[in-house]
Amino acid sequence: MELVVHKINGEVTDKKVQLHDGIFGIEPNDHAIYLDAKQYLANQRQGTHKSKEKGEVSGSTKKLKRQKGTGTARAGSIKSPVFVGGGRVFGPKPRDYSFKLNKKVKQLARKSALAYKAKDAQIVILEDFSFEGPKTKQFAAILDNFKVNGEKNLIVTAGVDMNMVLSARNIPGTKVTTANNLNTYEILNANRLFFIESSLKSVEELLA
C-alpha cells in the first residue's frame, strides 16, 4: 500500500511512502487483538479493592439476644453480614489481574490492528517536524488542518519527543507515543493514526 506524505499544514507533498505489506497488508486476526487488548486493560487495574469480612469489622462480640424464645431468628454477633454495618460475605480482596501473553501473539495483534487502520484509510503520514518548546496552540492548529481536532488521535514518533508530548498533553483525545510503545488497544481506540515519517522505519524494524 502506498500513501502520500502530508505537510503539517495539511497540504500534500510530492513524496510517497510504501507501507510494509507484512504489517499493514496482512489478514487481521481478531482473536489475537482480543487477547492483547484484554491484557492491556487488565494491566491498568490496580487490584487494590478490599472489603471487610466479619472478623475485620469493629464491634462488640457480645451475643445480641438469647438463643430461643424471641420469636425471631437467632443472632450471635452485631458484626454478622445480615446486619447493617456488618461484614461482607465473599467481598473483593486485593489481587493481581495481569496475565502472560506470548510475544508472537502480541506482535500479531499489533499488525492486525494496523492492518485494520490501513484498510479503513485511517492512517496519515506526516513529514518530520519538531517544536522548539511545548506549543499546545500550534499542535491544535495541526489537528485543525486535518479537521480532526476533538477526535481521538494517536501520533507515533520514532523516539521520545518531550516537546511534542507536552504540546499534545492538554488536548482531549490526543496522545503522542513512540514506535516502541505502540500497543493494540491505543491503535484501535484512535479514530486517526498519524505516523511521523521517520517512525515508519522503527515500526517496520519492530514488527516486520
Tens of pLDDT, residues 24-69: 999 999 999 999 999 999 999 999 999 999 999 999 889 999 999 9
Q: Which helix (H) or strand (E) holds 12?
A: strand 12-18
Burial class (CB in 10 A: 0-12, 13-18, 19+), 190: buried
Q: How wide is the angle at C-alpha 128 spanned by C-alphas 123 and 131, nearest 5°?
A: 115
Polymer length in residues for the chain: 208
Distance CA 119, CA 188 (A): 12
What is this structure's pTM? 0.82
- Residue intervals in the chain for CATH 3.40.1370.10: 2-46+101-207
- 179: region left, alpha or beta (phi > 0 left; psi from -120 to 50 alpha): alpha
User: Is it the case that residue 2 has pLDDT exceeding 90?
Assistant: no
pLDDT per position as a tens digit, 118-174: 999 999 999 988 888 898 999 999 999 999 988 999 999 988 889 999 999 999 999
DSSP code at position 151: S
**Mean predicted confidence (pLDDT) in 103-109:** 95
pLDDT of residue 92: 95
Q: Which CATH superfamily is domain 2-46+101-207 in?
A: Ribosomal protein L4/L1 (3.40.1370.10)
Of the two residues 113 and 132, the one the predictor is more confident about is: 113
Element (H, E) at 142: helix 136-145
